[in-house]
Amino acid sequence: MTGTGPSKLLYGAHVRANGIRQHYLRFGGSGPVLIIVPGISTTAAQWAFVAERLCVGRDIFVLDVRGRGLSESGRHLNYSLDACASDLLAFAEALGITRYTILGHSMGARIGIRASRWRPASIERLIMVDPPVSGPGRRAYPIPIEPLIRLLHSAQRGDVEAALRGPDAPNWPEQHIKMRAEWMHTCDERALTESHKGFHHDDVHFDLGKIAVAATLIVAGKGGVIRGEDEAEIQRLLPSIAIRRLEGASHQMQIDDTEGFLAIVEDILAPPRSQQADHSTYR
């Protein structure tokens, strides 16, 4: 965990939902529910520092997607987008959560997109953080799978820190290098490869055209995952969407520019001014 004060982590736990063991961390404990869904090779533990900062007045659940962290993994599992979206919806149902906001990063955003199309009545808002916009007949996702698999193999051997400090590695703060090194080995290799293939085979643009929930897209200004023409297409598919850009950050924007990222998310989650005014009259 990060931060100068006591941790706001309530507990970590497991729940059986959609036929598998799902692990999560819970922060805050009261207020509107926010479910954070990490990306292709990150875990709940690696998003804890974000949950710590956002959980004042909120009830935050951070998931380990199947095949990552402490959630179930193995040859018997289906790692498709449909399976992961079903996990998310079943997770909320198993815990009795009836209304919630989804904040999904990268692969997690694509999971949130599909879940939002399937179950709009349960989802108050969808926050998509730099989702891959590849798909059938579209340009390839710009981040290849091979370096990620090499990193996984290094983590499995226990010597991943050297790779994370190499000349081609991102210039991350020490705490994030340590956290990446600690948790990378928990990723199932087939989960990574199947999810990466899914970036090219699953048509989330179809989902976007069918979404009926409030949605915001947060775009990294660097990295090339989402380009200007992609933003324009998404706006055409979902005219109500709000688009925010974090210009100086790359795909892992929660690490590259933590304060800028948190400021955008806090602004998105803030209640409308009229509700704030109404609330203040009861104090």
CATH among 3.30.750.210, 3.40.50.1820, 3.40.50.150, 3.40.50.10800 for 9-270: 3.40.50.1820
pLDDT of residue 273: 66
Give the tokens for residue 136: 């059938």
- Averaged pLDDT for residues 116-126: 97
Q: Where are the domains of the chain?
A: 9-270
- Averaged pLDDT for residues 141-148: 96
pLDDT of residue 206: 97
pLDDT band with cut points at 50, 70 and 90 for residue 168: confident
Query: pLDDT, tens digit, for every residue of 224-277?
Result: 999 999 999 999 999 999 999 999 999 999 999 999 999 999 999 998 765 544
CA distances (Å), 140 to each of 125, 132, 133, 201, 227, in order? 28, 9, 9, 10, 13
- Averaged pLDDT for residues 123-129: 98
pLDDT of residue 32 exceeding 80? yes
Share of the chain above pLDDT 70, in %: 95
Task: Tell which residue, 80, 56, 92, 43, has the closest CA to residue 262.
Answer: 56
pLDDT band with cut points at 50, 70 and 90 for residue 199: very high
Query: Which value, to the nearest 10 degrees, does the dihedral of the CA atoms of residues 24, 18, 15, 8 take?
Result: 20
Contact residues for 281 (Cβ-Cβ < 8 A; gap 6+):
none
pLDDT of residue 169: 86
pLDDT of residue 109 exceeding 60? yes
pLDDT of residue 271: 83
CB 115 within 8 A of CB 92: no
**Cα distance between residue 17 and residue 93, in whole Å:** 8
Which of the two residues, 167 and 50, has the higher pLDDT score?
Answer: 50
- Averaged pLDDT for residues 106-121: 98
Query: pLDDT, tens digit, for every residue of 50-100?
Result: 999 999 999 999 999 999 999 999 999 999 999 999 999 999 999 999 999
- Residue-wise over 55-79: b if at least 16 C-beta within 10 A, else e? beebbbbbbbbbbbbbbbbeeebeb
DSSP state of 186: G
Using only C-alpha atoms, the chain has a radius of gyration, in whole angstroms, of 18
pLDDT of residue 274: 54
CB 77 within 8 A of CB 20: yes
